[in-house]
């Protein structure tokens, strides 16, 4: 299922974006020089692709899981571990709040930038 997801859905990102599996069922997507509006556009592209894509499993079509995301902007001089913790915390907040959503960790807390679609 992860292969279908990676090839069928996550392939929509730009050539200079970095998409990598980040343990378990998580993927990390680094979007360099990308503002919040463009993050939303990327998320929408993923959501549209998910709606149109199904995988074959045991000769049956299977819908792919939803896409929840945690977002944080990397601060100049920030310790990498701190940055990853903020992104991970935002992802778990998105999942805890029902999934299929994007949550942003702004340093002081969370803000939902897009509700369920």
Q: Is the distance from CB of 52 to CB of 58 less than 8 angstroms?
A: no
**Which residues belong to the active site?**
25
Q: Per the structure block, which two tokens stand in for 100?
A: 């299929």
DSSP conformation letters of 27-80 = EEEE-TT--HHHHHHHHHHHHHHHHH-EEEETTEEEEPPP--EEE-PPPTT--H
70 phi and psi angles, rounded to 5 deg: -110, 135
């Amino acid at each position: 299922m992860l292969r279908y997801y990676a090839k069928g859905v996550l392939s929509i990102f730009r050539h200079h974006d970095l998409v990598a599996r980040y343990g378990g069922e998580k993927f990390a997507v680094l979007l360099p020089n990308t503002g919040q509006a463009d993050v939303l556009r990327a998320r929408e592209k993923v959501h549209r692709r998910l709606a149109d894509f199904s995988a074959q499993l045991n000769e049956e079509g299977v819908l792919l899981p939803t896409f929840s995301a945690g977002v944080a902007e990397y601060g100049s001089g920030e310790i990498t571990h701190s940055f990853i913790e903020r992104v991970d915390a935002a992802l778990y907040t998105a999942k805890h709040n029902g999934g299929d959503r994007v949550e942003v960790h702004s340093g002081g807390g969370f803000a939902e930038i897009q509700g369920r679609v």
